[in-house]
Structure 1
Amino acid sequence: MRKLFILLFTLSNFIVFSQYSKGKITFNNGDELIGLIKITKGDDVKFKSDNDSKVIEYDDDLIKSFEFTENGILRKYIYSETIHLDNEKSRTDKWNKLLEVIVEGKVSLFRYVTSVNNMGHVSYYLKKESDKLPVFYYGEGYFYKQKFIPFVSKYFSDCKNLVAKVKSKELKHKEFEKVVEFYNNECK
């Protein structure tokens, strides 16, 4: 089942990355462009003002975010460095990653997809309004399952009800959206 999910997820991303969709690019300097957008395999953005226009490719260093509508669904992305917290130390990834916005709010949830050995690998990042960079939240594998409760207990320590639900396994390690939505809706 897991392999089928990864295959379908990878194919859906391939379809998104292989066609132009109506959307908007917001640059780091605040300028915006509205037109047709396509994501390249290298996670850069191609832009055309209309179907007959010349293609312009923008490097991720210039773009803050972009969004487009696909099959009636608004998809949002940001480019950002990220940070990993580990035993009170932190490691910043000094390159921009293309993060898809899954949930926006007091805490935002992002998905990052990479290809490792021709397999899609998905990681999740969180960003509180007070955070400078998105923080690594969860990746696939047994190691991350074991680190889930301690991470949630620390990162969401200002919401005792959420921590209790996670510790009691009422909210499980793969319910990323539910954890973030609970925080956004139920916590101060």
Structure 2
Amino acid sequence: MKLLFTTLLFFVSFFSFCQLGYKYDVRSSYVYVEVEFRNGEEKNGFGRLNAENIVLFKELEGSKKQKFSYREVKSVIFHTTDGKRKYVYKIVRDKKGRNRVLPLIEDFKGELSLFFQVHVSTSPFFSPNVAGMGNYVNGSTSELKIYFLGKENEDTVKPIGGIKMKSKRSKKIVKEYFSDCPDLVQKINNDYFENLEIEAVVNYYNANCQ
């Protein structure tokens, strides 16, 4: 019974300590930002995103906080320790037809634009000690990169999965976006692109299919 209780406690604690977040830290602290508003105005200052994806903005580090939603903000460039990252508010439509507005990282822009989110999952490692209670130490960290496709000057994008898309659904979405470029569709069908790597596919489209 004691062994069963200890085992259950381990799994409950394990899942309680698992964390899911974003790789690029634009939420926990203010960093230098360049904000582009939908009315064409631009502001530089210090900002971060809150849990509701609202931009918290300060013109100076000690000045009063202002709040701007996606209705006012078009994009934000965050100057993080990982470099500059441009977040663009896009309407994401899932496979059930539901819409959500999310800030997505702009990978590259063109006739067809590519955006992504990086989710980081950290799982602690449980190490039992001599008393039988155990300690949590640094565990493994895994990253999941989710890509979104969108056409130029359109606010709606479609999620297409990870960097290497092997599912039939992902291939179907890709062909839908590239249907106006028969040469590219043929290359996709003939497995020209290894594992259908989306960055290479979109680069090919923007360079050869316009």
TM over 0.5: yes
- Structure 2, unmatched stretches of 5+, are 1-17, 124-141
Query: Are 1:162 and 2:184 matched, yes or no?
Result: yes
Residues 37, 75 of structure 2: 8 Å contact kept = yes
Mapped to 1, the partners of 2:147 and 2:43 lie a distance apart of 28
What's the TM-score, normalizing by structure 1? 0.74
The SS at the match of 2:205 is helix
Name the % identity.
27
CA RMSD of aligned residues (A): 3.3
Question: Structure 1, residues 127-185: CA drift from partner, whole Å, max 9, x if none?
Answer: 1126452233335999x712232222222012223222322223245622111111111
- Separation in 2, partners of 1:146, 1:46: 40
Rg larger in structure? 2
2:78 pairs with one of 45, 68, 72: 68
Counterpart residue type for residue 156 of structure 1: F
Partner of 1:125: 148
One-letter code of the match for 2:202? V
Residue 12 (1) aligns with residue 6 (2) = no
1:56 matched residue in structure 2? 66
C-alpha distance 141-107 of structure 1, shift in aligned 2 (>3 A): closer
Segments of 4+ moved more than 4 angstroms:
113-116, 118-122, 139-142
**In structure 2, what is the Cα distance between the partners aligned to 1:126 and 1:24?**
24
Rounded Cα–Cα distance in structure 2 between residues aligned with 1:149 and 1:125: 13
1:169 partner amino acid? D
**Using CA pairs below 8 Å that are at least 6 residues apart, which structure has the higher relative contact order?**
2
1:65-99 C-alpha deviation (Å, 9 max, x unpaired): 11122247321111122234x6xxx8250x31121
Q: Structure 1, unaligned stretches of length 5 or more?
A: 1-6
Contact 1:83 1:136 in 2 (8 A): yes
Q: Is the CA contact (8 Å cut-off) linking 1:24 and 1:68 kept in structure 2?
A: yes
Length, aligned pairs only: 173
Is 1:29–2:35 an aligned residue pair?
A: no
**Length-normalised TM-score, structure 2:** 0.67
What pairs up with 1:76-91 in 2 under 5 angstroms? 76-84=86-94, 91=97
